[in-house]
Chain A
Amino acid sequence: MKDQSEFPSGGIAQGEPGEVDLEAELKARDEFLSAVAHELRNPLNALHLTLEGLIRTQSGNTPLAPEQVVSRVTRASTQVDRLAALIDVLLDVSRISTGRLQLQFEDFDAAAVLSAVVARLKDQASPSQISLSMPPSLIIQGDRARYTQIAGSLLSNAIAFGNQRPIEVRLESDASTIRLKVIDHGIGIADADQQRIFERFQKVAKDSPTIGFGIGLWVTREVVRALDGEIHLTSKLGEGSTFVVELPKLNLVATTAPATK
């Protein structure tokens, strides 16, 4: 089954119109653009270096064997994927801000999708850093791409701020709900910052002030809300964080509010 819907989201303003701090919003937006430039340069740099390396080896006296070339080109392709994913996030910010986040519902195996996300991101973590606990199969109805996005965002966050300590990923379900838990034992988030971290353009990790756009968790929360789900955070500074996402097993189009823009 496949269907499509649009979800109206909260828009730009936080709180009452009179409470919006325009100066702070503009400053945050400037910092966001700076962070975007930085984040795009990283995969661009890796792609550039990979191609430069290939040019040098293949035009030198000892060119690589064909299988080594394939390996290098595959790495270059991974960087192109990273760039595309970053651009998708930027587009999501625009879609969410204008209330036009698109959803596509279908039946899929949430366990298989989660397993693929963990396998993809394991390369970015230390060896054996990620443990995965889930049923062999869990068929649900929802948006496969958005589910992948949510899992990827939370796991990337755990890797970035997990201090290279073990990360647990759990997928559980009951009759009507699936529950994704991502538990890290990293830098944690202070009580005062735990709500702010879900707001747009906010980065609270003092250790890495400009890593990330500062929008990842805001986008994730908005996507979870669009899927009629909830996201919860429990965290202690210096001890780590647990993000829990609860999503309905059956994401019927009729349960999603029509676009009102």
Chain B
Amino acid sequence: MNNGRHKGTILVVDDDRGAMEALSDILEYEGYHVQRAQNGLQALEHLRETRPCPNLIVLDLLMPVMDGWEFRMRQKEDPELAKVPVLVVTAIAATAGLDAVGVLRKPVDVDALLRTVARYCS
């Protein structure tokens, strides 16, 4: 954390604890503030309760409780939350209809991820 002097805020939504920790470490090292949710439902609750909204959501798709597709559907139903761009990070190929600003396959190309993050946090 940089006491408000961070470059921007990223909400990482992933049920895989190892990936979540490692991605958070990289983003924090690069100067971003990281918020975390383990599934789509936690992410929605977090977004509804927290202001300001994050600059970008990094979203996994296959998660228990609420997956990434349902999260996107619910997010788009709320006009304010719908404005937050989403970068999908997934192990699967079927990502049509998600209307994301980008899709990265696992294992994630970190340079590509940081380029997208920088674009939405500038």
User: Which residues of A pack against B, CB within 8 Å?
Assistant: 34, 37-38, 41-50, 52-53, 56-57, 60, 72, 75, 78-79, 82, 123-124, 160-161, 163-164, 207-208, 210-211
Contacts and interface: CB of A to CB of B under 8 A. Distances in A.
B32 to A, nearest CB: 13
A208 B107 CA distance: 21
Given A45-B107, A52-B110, A56-B26, 15 more contacts: A41-B106, A42-B106, A45-B19, A45-B91, A45-B108, A46-B21, A47-B18, A47-B107, A48-B108, A49-B107, A49-B110, A52-B26, A57-B29, A60-B29, A124-B17
Given A42-B106, A49-B110, A50-B18, A208 B29 contact: no
A53 B16 contact: no
Interface of B: 16-19, 21-23, 25-26, 29, 38, 62-67, 91-92, 106-108, 110
Given A45-B108, A53-B26, A53-B29, A161 B64 contact: yes
Contacts of A38: 62, 91-92
Contacts of A207: 64-67
B6 to A, nearest CB: 16
B16 A50 contact: no
A56 to B, nearest CB: 6
B91 to A, nearest CB: 4
Contact of A53 (B25, B65, B67, B107): B25
6 contacts: A38-B91, A45-B19, A46-B16, A47-B107, A49-B26, A56-B29
Nearest to B16: A42
Contact of A75 (B22, B65, B107): B22
Contacts of A124: 17
B27 to A, nearest CB: 9
A52 B17 CA distance: 16
Contacts of B23: 49
Contacts of A42: 16, 19, 91, 106
Contacts of B65: 163-164, 207
B18 A79 contact: yes
A123 B91 contact: no
B64 A208 contact: yes
Contact of B63 (A45, A50, A208): A208
Given A45-B91, A45-B106, A45-B107, A208 B62 contact: yes
A56 B28 CA distance: 12
Given A207-B65, A208-B62, A210-B62, A46 B22 contact: yes
A81 B29 CA distance: 26
The 9 A-B residue pairs whose C-beta atoms are closest, nearest first, are: A46-B18, A49-B22, A45-B106, A41-B91, A48-B107, A46-B19, A50-B22, A38-B91, A41-B106
Contact of B106 (A44, A53, A123, A208): A44
Nearest to A49: B22
A43 B62 CA distance: 14
B92 A210 contact: yes
A124 B63 CA distance: 13
A235 B29 CA distance: 45
Contacts of B64: 160-161, 163, 207-208, 211
Contacts of A56: 26, 29, 110
Nearest to B111: A52
Contacts of A34: 92
